[in-house]
């Protein structure tokens, strides 16, 4: 068929009066954005990944580990994995993680990305292998999935870009329709986006949610550096990474952010015990 569903949703579910107030109070991914940051001790993870990579003949890094942890966290707390459509919340069937990729790291004006589908069901090893495979295809074949839509925008006068994006969002996410004629992959942005701003030497960042993505959260992962950090009531100089979270306040409040961050900290403090099934 030339026209199919763009996103695989479960059926919509009843929502609380407070969530209805939140949906009515905020406009999408503009004034609805809320922000928080989290600093993580990465030394236990680095020690774990060194052994993990040697045992599995792979090159899993902190970014991949963090992205996999986000998939497992969303699996445990699925309220993150929702979309707003016509005043109702729709739960996604799967957790799909979108990773931003900077093809040109010098000028920084050629961005792309890869999506790891059904990430909630992948082991860390499977997740890492899939990331490496998709990155290889993206670089060797010159961004095949986004080549068509990039050519469209290259020829389009800038004045029409916002209208095009608004129409695209309405059709693909509000009406939930997709066709290969659109020139972009199905459900292109997945459940959440993760941007590795640390690859540009940025310590910490809070990035906006692009309105046309229809995602509930974007996370910016900063650079890995030694910083003062409190461990057992003592200040030590250890390697940490800072993550900046931008979430859709219509879907998440402080309680949900707190639950999510506690789960991420658990994975970073005890990687060996939380990742047993990856061996």
Q: Give Cα 31 to chain centroid, integer Å.
A: 20
Whole-model pTM? 0.88
The answer regarding whether domain 4-12+32-228+243-268 maps to CATH 3.30.559.10 reads yes
**In this predicted structure, what is the pLDDT of residue 276?**
59
Tens digits of per-residue pLDDT, 73-112? 999 999 889 998 888 899 999 999 999 988 766 666 678 8
**In this predicted structure, what is the pLDDT of residue 12?**
79
Predicted confidence band of residue 147 (pLDDT cuts 50, 70, 90): confident
Provide mean pLDDT across the span 173-202: 92
């Amino acid at each position: 068929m030339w026209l199919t569903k763009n996103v695989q949703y479960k059926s919509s579910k009843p929502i609380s009066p407070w969530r209805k107030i939140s949906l009515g109070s905020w406009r999408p991914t503009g004034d609805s954005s809320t922000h928080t940051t989290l600093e993580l001790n990465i030394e236990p993870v680095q020690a774990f990944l060194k052994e993990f990579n040697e045992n599995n003949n792979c090159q899993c890094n902190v970014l991949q580990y963090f992205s996999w942890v986000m998939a497992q966290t969303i699996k445990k707390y699925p309220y993150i994995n929702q979309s707003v459509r016509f005043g109702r919340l729709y739960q996604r069937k799967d957790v799909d993680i979108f990773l931003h990729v900077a093809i040109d790291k010098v000028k920084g004006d050629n961005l792309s990305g890869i999506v790891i589908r059904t990430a909630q069901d992948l082991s860390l090893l499977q997740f890492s292998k899939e990331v490496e495979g998709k990155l290889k295809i993206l670089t060797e074949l010159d961004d095949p999935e986004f080549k068509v839509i990039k050519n469209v925008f290259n020829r389009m006068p800038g004045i029409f870009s916002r209208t095009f994006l608004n129409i695209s969002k309405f059709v693909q996410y509000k009406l939930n329709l997709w066709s290969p004629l659109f020139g972009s992959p199905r459900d292109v942005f997945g459940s959440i986006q993760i941007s590795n701003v640390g690859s540009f030497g940025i310590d910490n960042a809070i990035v906006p949610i692009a309105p046309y993505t229809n995602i509930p959260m974007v996370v910016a992962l900063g650079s890995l550096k030694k910083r003062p950090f409190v461990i057992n009531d003592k200040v030590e100089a250890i390697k940490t990474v800072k993550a900046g979270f931008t979430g859709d306040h219509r879907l998440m409040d402080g309680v949900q952010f707190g639950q999510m961050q506690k789960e991420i900290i658990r994975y970073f403090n005890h990687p060996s015990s939380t990742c047993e099934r990856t061996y």
